[in-house]
Structure 1
């Protein structure tokens, strides 16, 4: 859990930069990859000036796990917001339940928060989360979970420790240590309804798989398949982080990234017109917003 931030950065940081130190040719390929996956978004109007990680300023990052299936524009079924402060060496991590009922900024309606991506892509998802928690979002990383299997296959599969015996999408997952190929890892990370923990159980499995990719991706053995890794990254990841940003984060934010405080959003599940939502009280939103704004040195 405490390595989840590094685990996401590894997709385009440790896998990329970490491998890159071995050879200039590889580093050049890494630079090209980061240029391909770099997709800017508008600067947040909740900040006066653009944040700079090269100046070691506190920053926020929204992690989006998007499920793109054939014939579907996709929804951000996994949303994790993190605020990282290198001064107090701490990271606040908020997992935002996908059924959270809120205003979809730019759509003019109240709906599930994960629908923001379906309606307007990354920018609408960012704007909606900013409005929900009243903080600026400086960076984002979007991972296509459907294509995530390619990343897992590129590192020759991953090892996880499963705490729930279940069968899903034709795959049986026994309790204990498992080695998963790409298709199995995708199925493992998607299951929700067979787990009493619901979204929280699924998020835990997603983090397991991502951390397993970190472990494999940061190893020297990845050098033998780095072209496959870079190709999988190009096809399945988007971010507004630049290569210089990634290098600065690895260099100056390691202590903060390893000291994570998990913030739980609480609310009441209810049905409106037959549709399930999680309703989060305004007091809860304000409490979390205050905590995050303090972490960003905004108040």
Structure 2
């Protein structure tokens, strides 16, 4: 099912810029300052990679982006609980989002071991996560956007709460508050409730797949709500949350180029989630992805990166 959603941080910023109305002059400058605060190049990146990105945008070539939703809690280095690879083709005006379950068993590039793909970030940060996902998908990834999942709570509150269509009736075991009832149907969520909603996994018969779908729903609801906001104080709150909890190697100018030249792809979105077979033979659960599935994912992504 097609959904008009915006997942990249660049698109979030662009939506805010487009929706600011009479506050344009003031907030455009504020948005630029926020984007500068979020900017963080990939460690040890070759300068040729940055030049290649600039060339891609100048010539309106397809681009690829890795979205990392990182669960960073006190005393823990964090793991990438959400991994999505996005490709955007401005010529065909098609956006593609491929979700990789966090339990996917794969080689961790730079660490010399095979384990769950979400461990790559814990071992080597963004650089190792990028290298590992590039190896898994066999495509080059141009950009990354890392979001602290704890910030989802603040972001939901900053937009004044959200509404999502909950397809699974369940009683919370402590993700938000033990005993809280997430009823089936349209439900209202404040920040803490939204964080509990996306973190729940073991009560969902679809496991990570169901969890990833709930994350997409919350992100979509946040952005839809943000796009309709006209209060300057609300924009201040939203930008403060983004500036403190998002890191990306997109510059402000690159964000604006993407918004200007690639936005047509937002109306033609294809979503896919990597599939595999559950394996607990070692005492730890892994999602084992076949070579055939990996090839399918590669072909899918590579096809949308064709010029």
Fold agreement, TM-score > 0.5? yes
1:84 equivalent in alignment to 2:57: no
Classify 1:21/1:248 alpha carbon distance in 2 versus 1 (closer, same or farther; 3 Å): farther
| Aligned mates of 1:287, 1:176 — CA distance in 2 | 34
Aligned-pair CA distance for 1:189: 0.9
| Aligned mates of 1:93, 1:124 — CA distance in 2 | 21
| Aligned mates of 2:48, 2:104 — CA distance in 1 | 23
Q: Can you give the 5+ residue segments of structure 1 that lack an aligned partner in the other structure?
A: none
Q: Deviations over 1:233-259 (max 9, x none)?
A: 111111111222222222222222221
Aligned-pair CA distance for 1:49: 3.2
Q: Is the 8 A contact 1:17 1:30 kept in 2?
A: no
Please name the residue that 2:241 is paired with: 232
Classify 1:77/1:273 alpha carbon distance in 2 versus 1 (closer, same or farther; 3 Å): same
Please name the residue that 1:64 is paired with: 68
Q: Can you give the 5+ residue segments of structure 2 that lack an aligned partner in the other structure?
A: none
TM-score, length-scaled by structure 2: 0.90
The SS at the match of 1:221 is: coil
Aligned-pair CA distance for 1:286: 2.0
CA RMSD in angstroms, aligned pairs only: 2.2
| Aligned mates of 1:68, 1:286 — CA distance in 2 | 32
Q: Is the 8 A contact 2:156 2:162 kept in 1?
A: yes
| Aligned mates of 1:199, 1:60 — CA distance in 2 | 23
TM-score, length-scaled by structure 1: 0.92
Please name the residue that 2:269 is paired with: 260
Classify 1:33/1:258 alpha carbon distance in 2 versus 1 (closer, same or farther; 3 Å): same
The SS at the match of 1:196 is: coil
Classify 1:207/1:7 alpha carbon distance in 2 versus 1 (closer, same or farther; 3 Å): farther
Residues 10-29 of structure 1: matches in 2 within 5 Å? 10-16=11-17, 18-19=19-20, 22-29=23-30
| Aligned mates of 1:62, 1:44 — CA distance in 2 | 19
| Aligned mates of 1:137, 1:93 — CA distance in 2 | 13
Q: Provide runs of 4+ in structure 1 moved above 6 Å.
A: 44-48
Please name the residue that 1:108 is paired with: 112
The SS at the match of 1:23 is: helix
The aligned length equals: 298
1:284 equivalent in alignment to 2:287: no
